[in-house]
Amino acid sequence: MKLPEINILDEKNKILRTQSKEVTFPLSKEDKKLIHDAIDYLTMSQIPEYYEKYNLRPGMGLAFIQLGIPKNIFVIVEEVDEGEFEHYIIINPKIVSHSEELIYVGEGEGCLSVNREVDGIVPRFARMKVQYQNEDGETETIRVREDISVAFQHEMDHLNGILFIDKIDKKNPFKDKEKMREI
């Protein structure tokens, strides 16, 4: 596998604070290529052989805005079994419904655009139903839960110019922890 040329913007870049725009179909060749390059990049970043060889930080999600492109597109790559990956291509997402229950990632959320350790918890919905368009522009609905629900919310925040660090209470990084479930 060859590492795709992807330039992920750092949190200091003001473009990351941009509201992404609705995507129209059909997708351009460039957008399709970038979607698949992002999937390959994220997959490689989770395989020890590649992340060691290319000095990658493991990541499971990437929004187009992190590549400097303000379009409502993100991809998520999840390792479902050792060396076996499932990916999601999400375009123009909208939350249809969500659980009352809140969860947070115990070891803390990370982001390929935030190159530092950040302490604190980010409240997220435990379950969500999301409507989106696939690569062909067809409308689909998906139910996500636990870590995939967190990943979807993290990437959807990117589309709205929000970084996970914005959701951590600066004065009390572990605020209301007892009201949420750790995953």
Please confirm, yes or no, whether 135 is among the known catalytic residues. no
Task: Please tell me whether residue 173 adopts helix, strand or coil conformation.
Answer: coil
Omega cis (within 30) before 26: yes
- How many helices (H) and strands (E) in the chain? 3, 8
With contact defined as beta carbons under 8 Å apart, do 62 and 44 qualify?
A: no
Provide the strand spans (E) within 54-135. 61-63, 73-81, 84-98, 102-104, 124-125, 127-133
What's the CA gap between 138 and 94, in Å, rounded? 14
* Candidate list 49, 146, 155, 182, residue with the active-site label: 155
Q: For residue 90, what are the CA distances in angstroms to 23, 81, 126, 132?
A: 11, 22, 19, 6
Tokens of 5: 């040329």
Tokens of 60: 């499971």
What's the CA gap between 1 and 89, in Å, rounded? 20
Residues involved in catalysis: 155
